[in-house]
Structures are given as C-alpha cells and as structure tokens.
Amino acid sequence: MSRRPRVAFVCTHNACRSQIAETIAHAHAADVLEAYSAGTDPAVTPNQDALRLLADAGFDITPLRTKTLGELPSVDMVITMGCGVQCPNLPCAHREDWGLEDPTGKGDEAMRACIKAITAKIDDLAGRIRRKELPSHSERAVGAESAAAFRALADDNRLAIVATLAQNKELCACKLLDRLSISQSTLSHHMKALVAAGLVEQRKEGRWMHYRLCGEKISALGAALTSLGADAQAEDAERKPAACAPAATGR
C-alpha cells in the first residue's frame, strides 16, 4: 500500500492556526495523512493560549515548536490558513486555503471557535482523502509538468548542460560553448527546450545569454522520483510473500 500523503499546514508565524491544525490532524487523521506545519516568518514560540486550550481539550502539545518552510519534507498537499501566505517553493499535488481568521489576542472564546473550525476542516480533509477525492503524491510525481521536464532531459547534451550549470551559479553561453565543445546553434536548440520545460532560467547581458538552473524545478523533479520510489517499494513489500519456516525433518 502507498504511503500516506504528507500535508503541510502553513501560515505566516506558525504560532497559532497552523499549530492547531497539525495537532488536530495528528489526533484525528493520522491513519490517512502525515501532518506538518511551518511558517513563512516563524515566531519564536507557539501561541501560549492556543497551547493551553489544546492541552485542556486533551491534545498532546509536547512536540509543538515553530518551524520554517525549509524544515518541511517534500509534501503532497499544502493548506494555508487564510493569511495571504504564498508558498512558491513548496511543490505539491493539491493546494487550498482555509480562510481562517487569526484568533490571537481575541480571548479564549475566539480561540476555541478557531479550534472547532479547524477540527471540522481536518475531519473533512481526512474524509476526502479516504474517498480518494484529492490528487495523490503519485499523481504529482507523474504530472504533466514533470513529464515535460523529464522529456527535456532525455538527451545526452541537455544532461551535460544541466550538470555543468549545477556546478556553477550562472554561466554565459560563451562559457558553456567552451566547456561542452558544441556549436552555438546546438546550444541554442537545447537551451530552448530546457527553458521551455522550466529547468533553466535565462537573461541577456550584452551580446550573450546567461543561464542558470531553476533550483525549485530541479528539486520538484527529485521529489517526484523519490515519491515514485517510495510507492514502488511499498507495493513491492506488500506483494512479497512471507518467508516460510523450514520444514521439520525426521530422524
């Protein structure tokens, strides 16, 4: 069976709503998803009122701490809390915004109402995952954009270009021509394909084009391959028959 989808709950400070969502998801939906949370500009600590009310309601708050987006693993779903957060560096199969008002500083009743609203949304999300109504990590891995990028890499010269760029922050076309020993027309042809696939970014300076890798796209392809590998291993483990004990021999 495939691994559970990884869901990241994201807000600006990772102090209140996203922490509540991660906590409730661990308690209510651990059978169908892996819950994480992070912030684009994390606070030093989670909101103490949120922690207190979650503890009063019987939730385990001991593992909670604020986290940056860089601490997240590759994720399959991104849920933003409603604070206008944009997460361009988090490729995923599904993204939605819950539009929740921040209850910070508005008293216990507002915080309890937020906890109640998030609980309902977590239960709804878990139900949609169980009913297979949301894209899976496998679908993300083999999506159209990833397929186009893999096709663009299916050429020895393009792989050599990507490998060369990976070792340098940026290179102009003249440097690439010297290092790869190919003609300018050949380089232009391959660069057109790599740029169209979103793997390489370009800019013009003087008479030369300058190129650099799109790190976000390359990382997304790596995550896609990792996801496919994890699914394949899980399926292999499920199909593999249990080892039989050796038969007893008589004397």
| Catalytic residue numbers, as ranges | 11, 83, 87
Q: Are residues 20 and 123 in the same domain?
A: yes
* Cα R_g (the chain), whole angstroms: 24
This prediction has a pTM of 0.59
Residue 225 counted as domain residue = no
Q: Are residues 10 and 113 in the same domain?
A: yes
Q: For tokens 């995923």, what's the residue?
A: 92
Q: Are residues 98 and 161 in the same domain?
A: no
Residue 53 counted as domain residue = yes
Residue 248 counted as domain residue = no
pLDDT, residue 96, reads 93
CA neighbours closer than 13 Å in the CB half-sphere of residue 208: 12
- Among the ranges given (62-66, 147-151, 156-160, 247-251), the one the predictor scored with the smallest mean pLDDT: 247-251
* 77, 104, 137 - which closes a domain: 137
Residue 190 counted as domain residue = yes
Whether the CB-CB separation of 141 and 150 falls below 8 Å is answered with no
Q: Are residues 12 and 125 in the same domain?
A: yes
Residue 54 counted as domain residue = yes
pLDDT: which is higher, 239 or 21? 21
Checking if the pLDDT of 2 tops 80, the result is no
CATH of the domain at 148: 1.10.10.10
pLDDT, residue 179, reads 92
Q: Are residues 24 and 98 in the same domain?
A: yes
Q: What angle do CA 13, 76, 69 make, to 5 degrees?
A: 25
Burial 179-193 (b: 16+ CB within 10 A, else e): ebeeeeeebeebbeb
Q: Which of 79, 68, 23, 71 has the alpha carbon at shortest distance from 50?
A: 23
Q: Are residues 201 and 79 in the same domain?
A: no
Q: Are residues 165 and 92 in the same domain?
A: no
Q: Are residues 200 and 185 in the same domain?
A: yes
Q: Which of 21, 60, 55 has the alpha carbon at shortest distance from 37?
A: 21
pLDDT, residue 131, reads 93
Q: Are residues 148 and 133 in the same domain?
A: no
Range of the domain at 175: 144-215
Count of structural domains within the chain:
2
* 86, 113, 137 - which closes a domain: 137
Residue 246 counted as domain residue = no
- What confidence category does residue 135 fall into, taking pLDDT thresholds of 50, 70 and 90? confident
Residue 115 counted as domain residue = yes
Q: Are residues 178 and 62 in the same domain?
A: no
3-state SS record for the chain: CCCCCEEEEEECCCCCHHHHHHHHHHHHCCCCCEEEEEECCCCCCCCHHHHHHHHHCCCCCCCCCCCEHHHCCCCCEEEECCCCCCCCCCCCCEEEECCCCCCCCCCHHHHHHHHHHHHHHHHHHHHHHHCCCCCCHHHHHCCHHHHHHHHHCCCHHHHHHHHHHHCCCCEEHHHHHHHHCCCHHHHHHHHHHHHHCCCEEEEEECCEEEEEECHHHHHHHHHHHHHHHHHHHHHHHHHCCCCCCCCCCCC
pLDDT tens digits, 145-193: 677 788 889 999 999 999 999 998 899 999 999 999 899 999 999 999 9
For residue 76, the tally of other CB atoms under 10 A from its CB is 27
Average pLDDT over the chain, rounded to an integer: 86
CATH of the domain at 123: 3.40.50.2300
Q: Are residues 16 and 120 in the same domain?
A: yes
* 99, 114, 137 - which closes a domain: 137
Residue 117 counted as domain residue = yes
Q: Are residues 81 and 185 in the same domain?
A: no
